[in-house]
Amino acid sequence: MDVRMDRRSFLGVAAAALVPGVTAAGSPARIGIVGVGNRGSSLLQLLLSMKDVSIPALCDIDVQHLAAGQKMVQQSGRPTPEGYSRSEHDFERLMSRDDLDAVVIATPWEWHTIMAVHCMKAGKFTACEIPAALTFAECWNLVDTHEKTGVPYMMLENWCYREDNLAVLNMIRQGLLGEIVHCHCAYSHDCIFWYFDEKGYPKWSGNFLTRRNANPEPTHAIGPAMSWMDLNCGDYFAYATTTASRPLGIYRELSRRYGPNHPSVKQKYMQGDIVTTVIKTHRGNTIVVNNDMQLPRPYDNRWLIQGTLGLYSHEHNAVYLEGLTKGEKWEPFEPYQTKFGHGLWKTIPADSPEAGHGGADYLVVREFVKSVINRTPPPIDVYDSVLMSSIIPLSQESIAKGSAPVACPDFTRGKWQTRKPSFGL
């Protein structure tokens, strides 16, 4: 690959040159799914709502999840997909089929990079749930494999597609906030139920709590800020510092539910309750990324984006814009969301199934399917996916070094300086 080729021309060529057996641009998308648990089955439901999608194959090591997924496909009137469940590596057989254009991966985090790398090598357009990677080495593995194979990769970060966040993007692009200086974002979601089963034992996700201390789920927070702040197209993370509080939430909640002698209460947890990452960008901007998944609280992403002319606050559901809002007061965001609403939101079909997350899930899946069908670069590419995910290793290393600044590797190899914004255009 000639790394000097610009992003669009490179990806355009690469996307057109997928494995033999792929159908011509414009044909329906033939998609396999690996992992049809909680999230994978929601993604399957969304894909089945699209007439131009077929599902020839599904893979899951849990035969009940696999059978339920196959039934969903059957009930949609499509042929029963072939099932793959022989072993943890049976996804490799699925990815070697010559009747698939793309594969969606919705498995536990430790499998994401392994499966995505295999998928790109097999020539299938690769979509993966969040996060794309857990370590710097995994980030590089994704970038290197993408550059070697030319196969498109997209992390399915749904919060980039929220109606409010896309309207804020339009407002920024029309200059209402002036020049952007600062962003605050968070993933604040009481997730004890997602980490532990109903008897209080850790699920795969809960196992991460005992073995590392990091900002564990940063992509939902930073996702919208990528386009708000031209990250990867004009600006890039320079370095980040991270501080984590002590972990009390898990002990307290498990002890309340199952008593102080439950084995999970006796366990030692490394993962702090409240994690605060502060990123400095090359342009000189600042980003605060909070994680708060272990204490009782309502769900909140706390997005705030601030420029030289004003700011938007998700928590206040309001804006303050110099010269437009009256007095030194917040003004409700709703009229601005209507006025600056993004065209993508008009494309959500009225008969779309319960799309989850208020329509953002439909859009992230639809944008991926459109790229597969049209053989166009994905709107969230491998560089965006790894930069968002890199907050995990950046924070883990900083916490381990007593909140020391950690430099962000340049996964674009300098291309962030010349790449042009394309998300949502």
Ligand X SMILES: NC(=O)c1ccc[n+]([C@@H]2O[C@H](COP(=O)([O-])OP(=O)(O)OC[C@H]3O[C@@H](n4cnc5c(N)ncnc54)[C@H](O)[C@@H]3O)[C@@H](O)[C@H]2O)c1
Contact with ligand X (CB under 6 A) among 1, 13, 16, 62: 62
**How many residues at the interface with ligand X, by CB under 6 A?**
22
Determine, following the binding rule CB under 6 A, whether residue 179 of this chain makes contact with ligand X: no
Q: Which residue is nearest to ligand X (CB)?
A: 37
Is the Cβ of residue 106 or residue 406 nearer to ligand X in the bound state? 106
DSSP 177: T
The b/e string for 3-22 (b: 16+ C-beta within 10 A; e otherwise) is eeeebeebbeebbeebeeeb
Which residue shows structure tokens 């414009």? Answer: 26
Q: Which residues pair with 155 in a beta bridge?
A: 128
Specify the amino acid at residue 398: S
Q: How far apart are CA 367 and CA 380, in angstroms?
A: 9
Is the Cβ of residue 264 or residue 281 nearer to ligand X in the bound state? 264
Contact with ligand X (CB under 6 A) among 23, 28, 39, 245: 39
Determine, following the binding rule CB under 6 A, whether residue 61 of this chain makes contact with ligand X: yes
Is the Cβ of residue 108 or residue 234 nearer to ligand X in the bound state? 108
Stretch that binds ligand X, among 20-28, 104-112, 323-331, 397-405 (CB under 6 A): 104-112
Contact with ligand X (CB under 6 A) among 60, 164, 253, 384: 60
Determine, following the binding rule CB under 6 A, whether residue 107 of this chain makes contact with ligand X: yes
Contact with ligand X (CB under 6 A) among 12, 23, 111, 270: 111
Q: Are 387 and 237 in contact (CB under 8 A)?
A: yes
- Residue 381: name the closest of 1, 2, 10, 5 by CA: 10
Determine, following the binding rule CB under 6 A, whether residue 359 of this chain makes contact with ligand X: no
Contact with ligand X (CB under 6 A) among 65, 118, 375, 419: 65
Contact with ligand X (CB under 6 A) among 11, 18, 33, 40: 40
Q: Which two tokens stand for residue 303?
A: 């997005």
Is the Cβ of residue 180 or residue 360 nearer to ligand X in the bound state? 360
Contacts of 206 (CB under 8 A, 6+ apart): 195, 196
Burial class of residue 326 in the structure, from the number of CB atoms within 10 Å of its CB (0-12 exposed, 13-18 middle, 19+ buried)? exposed
Q: Which residues pair with 310 in a beta bridge?
A: 307, 321
Contacts of 95 (CB under 8 A, 6+ apart): 32, 103, 118, 119, 122, 124
The DSSP H or E segment spanning 279 is strand 274-281
Contact with ligand X (CB under 6 A) among 101, 129, 230, 253: 129
- Residue 332: name the closest of 160, 182, 167, 169 by CA: 167
Is the Cβ of residue 111 or residue 258 nearer to ligand X in the bound state? 111
Determine, following the binding rule CB under 6 A, whether residue 83 of this chain makes contact with ligand X: no
Determine, following the binding rule CB under 6 A, whether residue 108 of this chain makes contact with ligand X: yes
**Looking only at residues 6 through 35 of this chain, which bind ligand X when binding is defined by CB under 6 A?**
34-35
Stretch that binds ligand X, among 36-44, 222-230, 282-290, 315-323 (CB under 6 A): 36-44
Q: Which two tokens stand for residue 390?
A: 């890199």
Contact with ligand X (CB under 6 A) among 12, 37, 150, 409: 37
Q: Are 48 and 70 in contact (CB under 8 A)?
A: no
Residues that bind ligand X (CB under 6 A): 34-40, 59-62, 65, 88, 91, 106-109, 111, 129-130, 158
